[in-house]
Amino acid sequence: MSVVVVTGGSRGIGAATCVKLAADGFDVVVGYTADHDAAARVVAEVEARGRRAVAVRGDVASEADVVALFEAAGGLGALGAVVANAGITGNTPGRLDEQEADTVRRVLDVNVTGVFLCFREGVRRLSTRYGGPGGALVAISSTAAGRGSPGEWVHYAASKAAVETVVRGLAAEVGAEGVRVNCVAPGVVHSELHAAAGMPDRPARLVPRVPLGRAGQPHEVADAVSWLLGSGAAFVTGAVVPVSGGF
């Protein structure tokens, strides 16, 4: 089985995705930004499922760090897939006119430039144009891209809308080169994102707006990623798959 790179793999949706893809038979590169202990725990969970893993620290907004991440993947074997999961909200919720320019720049740099860099490196290794075997790329967006996230994170929602545009455009560019490009858009999911933004009660607060009556779990998003990377989605590219309970 081939290797998958998962950015933001030390927690939440990223960690669940690493574990799920290990169960699917992938060896895993766990990309993370700061929490080495959390990344090490994910590596241990992957290894417990009989697969190899390595944790690589870096900032997806840094070209040099992303290149190093993919070089580490080469040390495990042939790349087969990329999951561009790393993303930030900027942490401070509020109206757009209350946001600092530096915060917005950082959110766009991580959420949009980070996906661009990871997908660029993935295409350079997977596309038949470069002698690659083909493969699949998946980005993690958010249903906020369609709602705009007013009063909380308009800049974050805008970054996720940009990610979905990248997915659609790149899918058209590289489809004939053996590379499928798709996106999963979670809704309200129990993860560390809410507490990091100072709103640990956010999932509970939004549940009344979710038709299925609950917040999602990280493993439910990971299941969708797994499907998009697998043979069952062999005729799927350029898609945005909501995992949102209808919200």
- CA dihedral for 108, 109, 111, 114, sign (positive or negative): positive
Q: Which amino acid is at 129?
A: R
**Residue position matching structure tokens 């074997």:** 77
Distance of CA 107 to the CA centre of its chain: 14
Q: What's the rounded Cα separation, in Å, for the pair 25 and 8?
A: 20
Q: Which two tokens stand for residue 186?
A: 């979670």
DSSP H or E stretch at residue 25: none
Name the one residue in this structure whose structure tokens are 């040390």. 75
Cβ pair 180, 231 in contact under 8 A: no
Q: What is the C-alpha separation between 168 and 127, in angstroms, rounded?
A: 17
Q: Is 130 a known active-site residue?
A: no
C-beta separation of 44 from 21 below 8 A? no
Q: How many helices and strands (H and E) does the chain possess?
A: 10, 7
Give the type of residue at 42.
V
Q: Considering the candidates 156, 170, 191, 245, report the single residue annotated as catalytic.
A: 156
Residues marked as catalytic: 156
